[in-house]
Amino acid sequence: MPKGMNQKFKLYRLAQIMLEKTDEDHYITMPEILAALEEYEITADRKSIYNDLRDLEVLGIEVEGEPVGNRYHYHVVSRPFELPELKLLVDAIQSSRFITERKTNALIRKLEKLVSKYEAMKLQRQVYVSGRIKTMNESIYYTVDAIHNAISENRKIRFQYFQWNVKKEMELRHKGAYYHISPWGLSWKDENYYLVGYDSNAEQIKHYRVDKMLHIQMSEEAREGKEHFKKFNMADYAKKSFGMFGGKEQAVKLLVENSLAGVMIDRFGKDIMLIPADEEHFTVNVDVHVSNQFLGWIFSLGEGVKIVSPPQVVEQMNQEIARQAQKYNGNAGAE
């Protein structure tokens, strides 16, 4: 038999051919395998290919041969990810606001390489979510990585923080001064990624929108605030914050119509106690960061929810209602 060309690439190309051209529903014959190798200027005999197909198992690629008529059909029978799993990943990437459009497409193309060319077509799907607006900050992909690195190395980070102005321009906050924060975790809340960290100057836990962070740098200083995070529950923190806006954490008692039980459970979890108040209502006690966003959420539920206590939160709601009423009453008759 003539010695095949490019033999050192043969096993690699064979793996590439099998992974790209076969799956549970698509097979390839031995003549087709040999022809595909020839496209890479690799010649081989059948016997060596049989051995190579067995060797692919060492690489984690399991190939199965099935007799069909007078010849065998070969295909890959297992992969690291199943197609439904990859579809979920694609959907999550496409629906995530904090990943830019360009990075979204690049990530999906990489995921497509994990399946055959036939299944890759099924990953080219669009997830349409009402009001979905992708971030314009291309650096977020690397900002998240830098935050994780700082956490693993127990270091502080420095970064600039911006907001959008009415001219749709990035406007640095604090006149461009760098924030110096001890990162302790990341939270995904209300379609945005947030850094949760400790501000040593303010001596308190704060959070920052990751897509609004710029020019992140790892500091030489060790992180601070460990004592504040010993019993800190990241998921609980996000659950108590409405729109991730700050506010004093307080225990609030609500009177809620029975029809809104699902709304309470969706927002605060199944561990809350729904205590019957009468045939049509129940009460529930929740720990929340009381902010205008929380009051707005209560207001959006209309007559179905009422704040019962504490008195200072009830008063906050009354003041906010009066303030809004005055604002719109002041516009009465305006054209």
* Any domain includes 190: yes
Residues 198 and 165 in one domain: yes
Q: State the pLDDT at residue 105.
A: 84
pLDDT band at 234 (very low <50, low <70, confident <90, very high): low
* Any domain includes 241: no
Residues 53 and 93 in one domain: no
pLDDT, one tens digit per residue, over 106-122 is 888 899 988 899 888 88
- Residue after which a domain boundary falls, among 232, 259, 282: 232
Residues 260 and 325 in one domain: yes
pLDDT, one tens digit per residue, over 18-67 is 999 999 889 999 999 999 999 998 988 888 999 999 999 888 888 999 88
Q: How many residues does the chain have?
A: 335
- Residue after which a domain boundary falls, among 61, 92, 123: 123
* Any domain includes 36: yes
Question: What is the total count of domains within the chain?
Answer: 4
Q: What percent of the chain has pLDDT over 90?
A: 38
In the three-class reduction of DSSP (H, G, I as helix; E, B as strand; rest coil), residue 53 is classed as: helix
Residue among 179, 177, 175, 212 nearest 193 (CA): 212
| CATH code of the domain containing 69 | 1.10.10.10
* Any domain includes 295: yes
d(CA 72, CA 79): 21
Residue among 273, 270, 276 nearest 285 (CA): 273
* Any domain includes 238: no
Residues 149 and 223 in one domain: yes
Residues 148 and 223 in one domain: yes
**What value does the mean pLDDT take over residues 172-187?**
92
Nearby residues of 47 by Cβ (< 8 Å), 6 or more positions away: none
Strand-pair category, 155-164 with 213-222:
antiparallel
Tell me the residue range of the domain where 202 lies.
140-232
For residue 153, with 0-12 CB atoms within 10 Å meaning exposed, 13-18 middle and 19 or more buried, which class applies?
A: exposed
